[in-house]
Amino acid sequence: MVRVALIQSIGAVDPTQGLAHHLELISQAKELGAEIICTQELFKTRYFCNRIDSEFFSWAEDINGPTLQCFMEIAKKLNVVLIGSIFEKRAPGLYHNTAIVVDADGSYLGCYRKAHIPDDPGYFEKYYFTAGENDFPVFQTRYARIGVLICWDQWFPEAARIAALKGAQIIFYPTAIGWLVEEKMVFGQDQLTAWLTIQRAHAIANGIFVASINRTGLEGDEKSRCIEFWGRSFLVDPFGRIIKQAGEKEEILVGELDFSLIEKTRINWPFLRDRRIDLYEQITRRYFP
């Protein structure tokens, strides 16, 4: 059993303010009994990718920068595992959308750099981020073996499958997703339903827990696309059942995960047993004309 907290919040005006606010929320999550705590995608600031502006590169930080240092300190103090999504400056001209993982003793376990980078209206991420090359790592923490993927990654079954095959008990998805305001009336409910469905399917197909952490609030101005982030962060069990789901406001969602369900589910739904790995070589092809 492990208690997981997902911090769903509103984007901050600047990184310093955002980090300070989340350190407070992390302490509150600990008071609620959390042992593993995960932030939303790019949690320190507003979702700046809804416009193209070179000034936002000043918000990027080194992997060993202030966020990691603060996380290592507070993780050790509170005995919690922390997962945080940052705007990483890896080298001049080389930037990533990166999740850092810190164990409950304050040690840095490593990072995951977002592999699938979108380029859609309001989500101009290819302007800012280079696709990561680390092959979906899984981290052994004090409380669980976890995989971390980021937002657009959640639409790709291959990434979730690899994390499960590497032994992940939980996949965390730090996320920033919402409605373009002008599309909400037409596509709103369908988009939200699809987002929930694809991640519940990952839990079912792999017999694992899924934790999706979204931001909330309305972001945008005359220079950028206006996005209504829908919140609704959630936890799903290996049977695809929603354990707990947040609303549309800033919230710390805490849920208890029973890892015995992984074995029970996989015994009754033995998808890993029946995989035909001898037939799957073609999956590496881009397309079959």
| pLDDT over threshold 90, residue 5 | yes
Q: What angle do CA 133, 18, 196 make, to 5 degrees?
A: 60
* pLDDT tens column, 216-247: 999 988 888 899 999 999 999 999 999 999 99
Q: Which CATH architecture has domain 2-284?
A: 4-Layer Sandwich (3.60)
* Residues involved in catalysis: 41, 114, 151
pLDDT at position 13: 87
pTM confidence score? 0.96
pLDDT at position 283: 93
Q: What is the mean pLDDT of residues 137-145?
A: 98
* pLDDT tens column, 195-217: 999 999 999 999 999 999 999 99
pLDDT at position 187: 87
Which residues, other chains included, contact 111 with Cβ-Cβ below 8 Å and sequence gap of 6+?
63, 88, 98, 99, 100, 101, 134
| pLDDT over threshold 90, residue 182 | no
pLDDT at position 223: 84
pLDDT at position 185: 86
| pLDDT over threshold 90, residue 134 | no
Query: Beta 81-91 vs 36-39: how paired, if at all?
Result: parallel
Question: Domain extents for the chain?
Answer: 2-284
Instruction: Compute the mean pLDDT over every residue in the chain, rounded to the nearest whole number.
Output: 96
